[in-house]
Copies of this chain bind each other. A is one copy, B any other.
Amino acid sequence: MEAEIITIGDELLIGQTVDTNSAYLGQKLGSIGISVSRKTAIRDNESAILQAIAESQSRCNILIITGGLGPTKDDITKKTLCKYFNCGMRRDLTVIDHLEKIFAERGRQLLETNLVQADLPETCITLQNNVGTAPGMWFDQNNKILISLPGVPVEVYHLIEESILPKLQETLQLPIVEHRTLVTLQKAESLLSKDLEEFENTLPKSLSLAYLPNFNMVKLRLSQKANVASDLIIDEYFDKLIATIHDDVFCLGDKDPATHLSEHLIREGITFTTAESCTGGFIANRLMQTPGISSVFPGSIVCYSNDVKISELGVDPNIIETYGAVSEPCALAMANGVREKFNTQLSIATTGIAGPDGGTKEKPVGLVYIAVSTESQSICKKFRLFGNREQIIQRSSNAAIWMAKQVLTIPL
């Protein structure tokens, strides 16, 4: 089954916004056996929209449109859909209820401009948008499904997961597509692919393996498409995959490694803290995204300056004088100091040069020391990371999460 995506918005064409929605849609539709054959980005312009929809519907049966549903003048998708389907607008009372509730909660006055969001083409089914004000729309005419969504990414995620994927599965006869994903950290894609050469050669035709690299993390996704459930052999091959690269696997599932670590800490009641210099709180911030983290995370310190390293973490000034702040002894002293200060079982400390300035020949941009400490052991590793400031911080945080696994016994 094939689908197309049309994204509407001048901001996509002039390059003000990088379109992340359609990559997300490609992934999610793929996960239920619908493959995206074309994506088209066009302007907020009636004739361009009409033309693109007609072309797309002539090629395939499922079309998803995003964008152009805001309350302002330049958002013309709804009007254009009325024209395309040759129908009028209706005011949807369930949307009015939803808007009234949202605006009352926010203590804001509901204006006529806002009520316009409840005006929908007569022929569509309303898809309630619980995280925003513009509902999604589902059209089903002449055996062609057209779905119109707002352009705001969180609203797209909500509508796709809560209503559209289930509704597509219910409406269409889709093949079975199964994916199994695992996450590796700290191993290059080229080395993984070498280790997996033999495994890939033995893969039956119905299975495929994809490498999804992102900084120093590589997700491996094994996929199988089948007509009947009894043909599914994916779990057997996933086990083989895990066995082949066992020591490089950080966790199973399509999961952020930070979430996997956080969930383990919460489940086991292991309290933790961080003392972050070059990563500026990024590690704590990734770990605290997991709900319930407050039970094991009292707080943490960002310590950019040497003064703060000394006064807050009790780093011996002699260490900084002798070895410098970007050094193994300093990273270890920071990790131990912050663990004792917050009286936690685990701590992570980082000190390094994230750039773009501040590097020297001896201590270049990208040099980062990371220490992980518990009451019974402390380890420190030196990393030479590449990329810009953002990438160095991102890679440092992945390296720190990987080191936590070496100190704790975290199941996959």
Contacts and interface: CB of A to CB of B under 8 A. Distances in A.
A214 B358 CA distance: 33
A61 B20 CA distance: 28
Nearest to A26: B15
A190 B108 CA distance: 11
Given A299-B312, A305-B298, A37 B43 contact: yes
Given A211-B72, A305-B294, A39 B38 contact: no
Interface centre among A209, A221, A302 (most CB of B within 10 A): A302
A28 B221 CA distance: 32
B42 A38 contact: yes
Q: Place the interface of chain A in its size category.
A: 35 or more
A390 B179 CA distance: 27
A219 B284 CA distance: 29
Identical chains in the assembly = 2
A191 B181 CA distance: 45
A375 interface: no
A25 to B, nearest CB: 7
Contact of A23 (B17, B35, B190, B210): B17
Contacts of A248: none
A132 B373 CA distance: 33
A285 B280 contact: yes
B304 A302 contact: no
A23 B27 contact: no
Contacts of A10: 210
A106 B386 contact: yes
A154 B391 contact: yes
Nearest to A209: B74
A18 B39 CA distance: 12
Closest A-B pairs by Cβ, 4 of them: A15-B26, A281-B281, A15-B27, A280-B288
